Amino acid sequence: MTPSALVVGSGSTGAAVAHDLTLRGVAVTVLERGEIASGTTGRNHGLLHSGARYAVKDRESAVECIVERDILARIMPELLELNGGLFIAVDEAGLAYREPFLEACARSGIPTRELTSVEARLLEPALGGNVLAAVEVPDGVFDPLHFCLAFLATARANGAAIRPYAEVEELVVRGSSVEGAIVRDRRTGERRTIEADIVINATGPWADRVAAMAGVDVPVAPTAGVMVAVAGRYVDRVINRLDKPSDGDIVLPQRRTVVIGTSSWPVDDPDLIAIPPEHVALMFDRGGELVPGVRGAASRPRGVFAAARPLIGRAGDASGGRELSRTFECFDHAADGIDGFVTISGGKTTTARAMAERTADVACRKLGVTSACRTAEVPLRSYREFYDA
Amino acid sequence: MPDRQVVLRLWRTNGSNGDGRSGRFDEARVAADPGRDTVLDVIERAWALVDRTLVFRHACHHASCGTCAVRVDGRERLPCITGLGEVWDGHSALTIEPLRNSPTIRDLASDPSPTIARLASLRLPYVRTVESDVRAASGVAADDDVGAAERFEDCIECLACVSACSVASGDPEYLGPAVLAAADRIVEEPRHQDSERILDLVNGEHGVWQCRSVWACSAVCPSGVDPAGRIMKLRRRLLFGEEGGVAAIPSSSAHLGVGA
């Protein structure tokens, strides 16, 4: 009999897990309480990380990013803007960071090319006259919704059931095992039980709430970041501040806009995030040091948004969450005495496929499925096929 | 939390009923700051704090994903980039309804499937060659040696244009402004697609000759696609060809007086 899995959540992690398990022959149902990617993933910056941002402080994340960036360029080439990125030094601290940055990128396998400030401004004329040094890296841009839809369209074509507007209200726990979920169809109001051999909790900053339905404790520290969209496509490449990661140090292009990000503050409720006005002002101040033209839009941003990152750890573990690891963790709750239940948390969209591979490995071991992961080779379908009747 | 309050008149359906025409308005009173909140902020607040059964679509909150389009006081908008202060007079109720001319999933959520299936059949690539709009405007030319950068197409497939189209409401087979605009993009920059196939399609019975030139689609487009302008460009291409030669006026359009 075909083993079955419920995947709760349709952000980048849930979507990639659904695709991975389906390729391995598991009968997958994705349960999403709202629209696809309506949680954290939908509201992310859309930065396809080369890994350079993490190279100095967090080599594990950096290597993960460059490996995954290359895989995504193979499996979803039509969905990525691969124009590259620049790290630019705009002050003495940035210049001092250049050597350790170049060395760390080399150690992590991230290709770099040093540019003079003149070369950088020929590539990106909207940069200011304050560029002291520049390094080109293979960053890119994706659209978060379409990223998820491509994984889900492929999963569905291979037999998975994708159910948006289906909210998990309870988990079915029998003895010490999770055996399904009680689901409210929000389109009809009907409530029904769906049985499965395993439940994968891929709900990001909501992971603790879903885990609590099985009496399990998951350490998630929802940590918001603000992003500001500005009318005008000032740059074609991702512009990063050459320095250790901090607030407002990335400006990236998206259609006829650029998006400045981000900041970091802990939140209690990922459902309702109030954006502090001073964080928005900070984006214009800091972003304006990289791309001066954005300052003119400070009184009229095109869009301001925030979502909660699902960082692993406890709220209050570190100041503002910047020091919590950006890598991910897969929890097999057998360790908590509950079988048939796995939580995946942390990470970032660039590494969603790798997170899914690790999670599917754990799930398949529990299910007795021996097929190997194929997601690094199988090209994804067009996101538009998600909508095929 | 802001101290003013806005009353939202939210369209509610009783489950998925296909056309979204049968339903009622529910009122929800929520805190509002017209200077900072977007319309999506107050819709989200109505869901989180007043009625969790409200179904609405949203994902990116900055006009990139196209999912949240609704009608606000009768006009198609992306609530994520519509400031509350732009549309609210400070005391009247604000009416929020789903898009027209797409099936309703429930309440404010429209199902984009029929139009996106048509877009899928056109095979418009998602990335296009960049035209460096800001640089062109500032008079700074990009370096020719660099090679063309790529970027995503402007159309975010929100279907506001389809909702605003008076032809689409009468002819469900009409290709509609989003699909016709995509067709013009393919002809403009084919990227290995077959322009002739596309021109044949838009020249058919449910194509460009049905447009009544109301320009509502271009007026409501949040992304600068200008579907009506592109429909007119397609007509010119069909009539005069790429090289300026005069092509035969299609018989299917004769009754519309096109070309007169």
- pLDDT by residue (tens digit) across A334-370? 999 999 999 999 889 999 999 999 999 999 999 999 9
Nearest residue to A322 (alpha-carbon basis) of A389, A377, A259, A249 = A249
Half-sphere exposure for B156 (CA within 13 Å, toward CB):
27
Which burial class, exposed, middle or buried, applies to A130 when counting CB atoms under 10 A from its CB (0-12, 13-18, 19+)?
middle
- List of chain B residues whose C-beta atoms are within 8 Å of the C-beta of residue A186: 53, 55, 106
Instruction: Decide if A82 contacts A72 (C-beta within 8 A).
Output: no
User: What is the chain B residue with the closest CA to A185?
Assistant: B15
- Reported ipTM: the value is 0.95
Q: What is the DSSP string of B125-163?
A: -SEEE---HHHHHHTPPPPGGG---EEE-S-----HHHH
pLDDT band, very low/low/confident/very high, at B182 (cuts 50, 70, 90): very high
CB contact under 8 A, B126 and A36: no
pTM: 0.94
Q: What is the mean pLDDT of chain A?
A: 95
pLDDT band at A168 (very low <50, low <70, confident <90, very high): very high
**Contact A272/B130, CB-based, under 8 Å?**
no
Per-residue pLDDT, averaged over B6-21, amounts to 78
Name the minimum distance, in Å, from the CA of B234 to any CA of chain A.
23
Yes or no: say if B122 and B198 are a contact pair by the CB < 8 Å rule. Answer: yes
Is A303 within 8 Å of B37 (Cβ atoms)?
A: no
As a whole number of angstroms, the distance between CA A64 and CA A58 comes to 10
What's the pLDDT tens digit per position in A116-141?
999 999 999 999 999 999 999 999 99
Report the chain B residue with the minimal C-alpha distance to residue A269.
Answer: B48
The DSSP code for A38 is -
Residue whose token pair is 């096109």: B258
Does residue A22 have a cis peptide bond before it, meaning omega lies within 30 degrees of 0? no
Q: What is the pLDDT of residues A270-320, one digit of tens each?
A: 999 999 999 999 999 999 999 999 999 999 999 999 999 988 776 555 444
- Angle (CA) A34 A228 A88, round 5°: 125
Q: Residue A379: which residues within 8 A CB-CB, separation 6 or more?
A: A74, A75, A76
Residue B13: count of CB within 10 angstroms of its CB? 22
pLDDT above 70: residue B140: no
- Amino acid B17: pLDDT: 54
Positive or negative CA dihedral for A149, A151, A152, A157? Answer: positive
CB contacts of A145 in chain B (<8 Å) are 59-60, 64-65, 67
Alpha-carbon distance A303 to nearest alpha carbon in chain B (angstroms): 5
Rounded to 5°, the CA angle B41-B46-B51 comes to 150
| B121 CB-near residues (< 8 Å, 6+ apart) | none
The distance of B247 to chain A (nearest Cα, Å) reads 34
Pick from B147, B135, B145, B143: nearest CA to A122: B143
Q: Which of A10, A12, A32, A43 to mutate to test the interface with B (most CBs of B within 10 A)?
A: A43
Suggest the residue from B152, B191, B225 to mutate for an interface test with chain A (most A CBs closer than 10 A): B152
Using the beta-carbon criterion (under 8 Å), do B15 and A229 form an inter-chain contact?
A: no
Residue B223: which pLDDT band, with cuts at 50, 70 and 90? very high
Dihedral angle computed from the Cα positions of residues B192, B194, B199 and B202, in that order, rounded to the nearest 10 degrees = -80
Where helices occur in B113-250 by DSSP H, the ranges are 113-122, 133-138, 160-164, 166-170, 176-188, 195-202, 216-220, 227-240
Distance between CA atoms of A318 and A322, rounded to whole angstroms? Answer: 7
Q: How many CB atoms lie within 10 A of CB B118?
A: 19
Question: What are the DSSP calls for A321-366, one per residue?
Answer: GTTS-SSEEEEEGGGGT-BSEEEEEE--GGGHHHHHHHHHHHHHHH
> DSSP 3-state assignment of B201?
helix
Phi/psi class of residue A258: alpha, beta or left (left: φ > 0; alpha: ψ in -120 to 50)? beta
Q: Which of B57, B60, B179 should be substituted to probe chain A, the one whose Cβ sees the most A Cβ atoms within 10 Å?
A: B60
Q: In what order do the strands lie in the sheet with A140-142?
A: A47-48, A140-142, A80-81
Task: Say whether B45 and A272 touch across the interface (CB within 8 A).
Answer: yes
The whole-angstrom separation of Cα A179 and Cα A174 is: 7
Q: Does A382 touch chain B (CB under 8 A)?
A: yes
